[in-house]
A and B are shown apart, each in its own frame.
Chain A
Amino acid sequence: GAGVSQSPSNKVTEKGKDVELRCDPISGHTALYWYRQSLGQGLEFLIYFQGNSAPDKSGLPSDRFSAERTGGSVSTLTIQRTQQEDSAVYLCASSFRRTNEKLFFGSGTQLSVL
């Protein structure tokens, strides 16, 4: 596609429910990142996929958060038993390779947990 695509753009859920957020990176990009951006805050790194290597999960805030990347392309971020503090914008970015400084971001998913 033309850019990084994220869906849904907005998600409202009830506390305790599970949510899945999707990221479709630019075709051919081997590196994919997930971030969380709370209101008025910078980006908080969550998880990083590079090709077929094991993901770098060092930024995941709790075991309620997990992510998969199927076939080296589409990625899904899952948040189980959502809490109100999970409310934030979840951004995905991809790049051609790990050492490429140019990241391409999607427009994010605004998650609201009521």
Chain B
Amino acid sequence: QKEVEQDPGPLSVPEGAIVSLNCTYSNSAFQYFMWYRQYSRKGPELLMYTYSSGNKEDGRFTAQVDKSSKYISLFIRDSQPSDSATYLCAMSQNTNAGKSTFGDGTTLTVKP
């Protein structure tokens, strides 16, 4: 079993929908949680970075971490066609984000 499991998708939603992307993990030592967006043929781009449990909001994006359930989510409000991409969750035990464990990604398509 993988340390990080991500809802596989693919996910297709109409423009304006609320999108929920989810990951579960098994390693209770993870303390830092990240969401990356990856467009086709591009490298990942950091969207959200959170430490420990709680919520963090940035514009249309909200990241939630529930350490007791070992579950993290990324919500996208008012989704746009430009949000169409693969979303990767990642988590690490320390501040060295470069050695994070990544999920396999969920591909999202937002249809106009």
A residues engaging B (CB < 8 A)? Answer: 4, 31, 33, 40-45, 48, 56, 91, 93, 95, 98-103, 105-108
Contacts and interface: CB of A to CB of B under 8 A. Distances in A.
A42 B96 contact: no
What is the predominant secondary structure among interface residues of chain B facing chain A? mixed
Contact of B49 (A48, A91, A101, A105): A101
Chain B: interface residue count, which band?
20 to 34
A106 B105 CA distance: 18
B43 A107 contact: yes
A105 B96 contact: no
Contact of B42 (A43, A100, A107): A107
A56 B42 CA distance: 25
Contact of B95 (A42, A93, A101, A107): A101
B81 to A, nearest CB: 21
Given A42-B4, A42-B105, A101-B49, A108 B43 contact: yes
Contact of A101 (B32, B41, B44, B105): B32
A70 to B, nearest CB: 20
A58 to B, nearest CB: 9
Given A31-B98, A43-B88, A45-B98, A105 B43 contact: yes
B44 A43 contact: yes
Interface of B: 4, 6, 32, 34, 41-46, 49, 88, 90, 95-100, 102-105
B46 to A, nearest CB: 6
**Closest CB pairs A-B (n = 4):** A105-B43, A42-B102, A99-B95, A33-B98
Contact of A93 (B4, B32, B98, B104): B98
Given A42-B105, A43-B88, A107-B43, A101 B99 contact: no
A40 B86 CA distance: 10
A75 B105 CA distance: 27
